[in-house]
Amino acid sequence: MSTRDLIVLGSASAVPTRTRNHNGYLLRWDGQGLLFDPGEGTQRQMSFAGLAATDITWLCVTHFHGDHCLGVPGIVQRIARDRVPHPVHAVYPAGGAVYWDRLRHATIFHDTADVREQPVSGELAVLDTGSLPFGLVARRLSHPVEAYGYRLVEPDGVTMLPERLAEHGIAGPLVGRLQREGSVVAPDGATVGLAECSEPRPGQKAAFVMDTRLCPAVFELADKADLLVIESTFLDADAALAAEYGHLTAGQAGRVAAEAGVRTLVLTHISERYQTADEPEFVRQAAAVFDGEIVLAHDLDRIGLPPRRRTPP
């Protein structure tokens, strides 16, 4: 299962609209499913998207405002009801543990959900991803309540080149040894380095940033991300409101993408004050400073990761 994409389950900010449900984003990554910020109604949005509770392996909450977490009880209860056979890892700000506990145990149900909690604290938290082929970190953002953004990083690797291996007669267990040790003595007696028989395979990175003002952590989370999902609650004309409530504008989101060297930028968490006719302006304001791919999220969008980079950024 090598699917890597983002399914948008909701894209509103504090107030849902006729076209935008509260937040909810499933990042599918080679059989793992990271559900970010399930707002109220995410359970049903998942059915509309053809997704099931069993598609979820991680549940990451940025903060405990309702539009980012009121879907947690429904999701946990579906995990139990649908007998999801694997554990689900739950990540959330430690300072909001009291809210997590209320949501986790919100109503009466037959609680067989295997939810493994990893509350995060401090400026930077490195999650335990066990043997998974990616790392996950959380960084503290700047919002009126304790909020964290998330960054998933696949380590850089190499792609072996069969024709180069054949030139040196390297085959069988010797290939694995070359990968592990960096060089081997080939059957022809020559010492062959890994670089001669492979090319770099840059790891992919995805970042999920909301809710926040501009702050250094935003740029660190977004750094060289192949996919950046970021709140742009307001248009630039409402920058004063964004500052007051601790949010970003579309132009600021574009600036982050540009300075951080992002490839695909997903704008979301759109305020209910805007109409459908305003939507192109979000893209225009981000595009004024960022020349990569820009997607203004709509509910049930499926956004693929861009093809893997050929060389490290």
| Contact yes or no for 267/286 (Cβ under 8 A) | yes
Of 274, 265, 267, nearest to 248 by C-alpha is 267
Rank residues 26 and 265 by Cβ distance to a copy of itself and give the closer one. Answer: 26
Candidate ranges 12-20, 121-129, 207-215, 295-303; the one touching a copy of itself (CB under 8 A): 12-20
Concatenated DSSP letters of 169-233: T--THHHHHHHHHSEEE-TTS-EEEGGGGEEEEPPPEEEEE-S--S-HHHHHHHTT-SEEEEE--
Note whether 47 binds a copy of itself by CB under 8 A.
yes
User: Is 67 noted as a catalytic residue in this protein?
Assistant: yes
Q: How far is the CB of 55 from a copy of itself (least distance, A)?
A: 16
Rank residues 47 and 276 by Cβ distance to a copy of itself and give the closer one. Answer: 47
Which of 5, 37, 55, 67 is flagged as catalytic?
A: 67
Given the DSSP bridges, would you call strands 135-140 and 124-126 parallel, antiparallel or unpaired?
Answer: antiparallel
Note whether 77 binds a copy of itself by CB under 8 A.
yes
Q: Which two tokens stand for residue 3?
A: 């699917």
Q: Which residue in the set 41, 203, 251, 254 belongs to the binding site for a copy of itself (CB under 8 A)?
A: 41
Rank residues 16 and 203 by Cβ distance to a copy of itself and give the closer one. Answer: 16
* Calpha distance 140→94 (Å, rounded): 11
Q: How far is the CB of 2 from a copy of itself (least distance, A)?
A: 29
Note whether 32 binds a copy of itself by CB under 8 A.
no
* Calpha distance 290→258 (Å, rounded): 5
Note whether 18 binds a copy of itself by CB under 8 A.
yes
Note whether 64 binds a copy of itself by CB under 8 A.
yes
Note whether 277 binds a copy of itself by CB under 8 A.
no
> CA dihedral defined by 33, 39, 41, 47, rounded to 10 degrees?
-10
Note whether 108 binds a copy of itself by CB under 8 A.
yes
* Calpha distance 194→191 (Å, rounded): 10
Q: Which residues bind a copy of itself (CB under 8 A)?
A: 14-18, 21-22, 40-41, 43-44, 47-48, 63-66, 69-71, 73-74, 77-78, 81, 96, 99, 102-103, 105-109, 145
